[in-house]
Amino acid sequence: MPGRVWIYTIFLLSGFAALLYQIVWQRALYAIYGINVESVTMVVTAFMLGLGLGSLAGGVVSKEPKRPVLLLFSLVELGIGLFGTVSLAVFHAVGRATLGMSALATFFVTFLLVLVPTLLMGSTLPLLVAHLVRSSGNVGKSVGTLYFVNTLGSAFASAASVLFILGRAGQAGSVRIAALLNVTVSLLAYVAHRRTMRPSEIAQTFARVHAAASEEATQQVQP
């Protein structure tokens, strides 16, 4: 079973990347639709709604004990990274095609733009909670600690983006950094998934060897 520090580090990096995306994407959407009370409200609402729906979906998926939640988490992070690499180009293309739309139509377009990545981001917490609960049986500690490290990663990203990243890398460079973090987290999660599989694989191997040895011994005893 992967160590808890390994899992916490993974989720801290995930939170860092998610907040970096949110800052860059909000700036990109504000540049497209303008900065006013209506546009800010629509963008933030779209983000929060997508995260909430993703958390609900992740909870439903992770309820099945036999599902490989670490592998699913790895695929989710990879999906976020892949979307992140093309996100700014998609936002600007859609923005040019939807200029002059009504406020309600703009909200739905914004929601659809961020729906896929925010759904994926929202699903990460319940997936990792399910993994830790399976090993410890402690729901409260698993949820609390994971939420803490993810929020800590977001806080680091908030400060780093203002102080260093955005000023030096710009929006495009910041998104590439976030996507690289997603790919790194995906690889680390996959390694953790493989480590959880090893005990069962070893047990199955020993079981096959034992069965073969028993069968051979039985054949030798028989006249």
Total structural domains within the chain: 1
Mean pLDDT of 12-39: 84
Mean pLDDT of 58-73: 88
Residue 18 and residue 154: Cα distance in Å, rounded?
A: 7
- 108 is a domain residue: yes
CA distances from residue 207 to 148, 193, 198, 212, 221 in whole angstroms, order as listed: 41, 22, 14, 9, 21
Judge whether 10 and 188 are in contact, CB under 8 Å: yes
pLDDT at 208: 54
Judge whether 70 and 189 are in contact, CB under 8 Å: yes
- 61 is a domain residue: yes
Pick from 3-17, 33-47, 128-142, 148-162: least confident: 33-47
- 100 is a domain residue: yes
Which has more confidence, 81 or 100?
81
- 160 is a domain residue: yes
- Residue 29: domain span: 4-196
Residue 142 and residue 139: Cα distance in Å, rounded?
A: 5
- 121 is a domain residue: yes
- 53: domain CATH number is 1.20.1250.20
Q: Which one of 9-13, 27-31, 129-133 scores highest in mean pLDDT?
A: 9-13
Q: Is the pLDDT of residue 205 over 50?
A: no
Residue showing tokens 């899992």: 7
Mean pLDDT of 18-38: 83
- 213 is a domain residue: no
- φ/ψ of 215, rounded to 5, equals -65, -40
Mean pLDDT of 70-96: 91
- 205 is a domain residue: no
- 201 is a domain residue: no
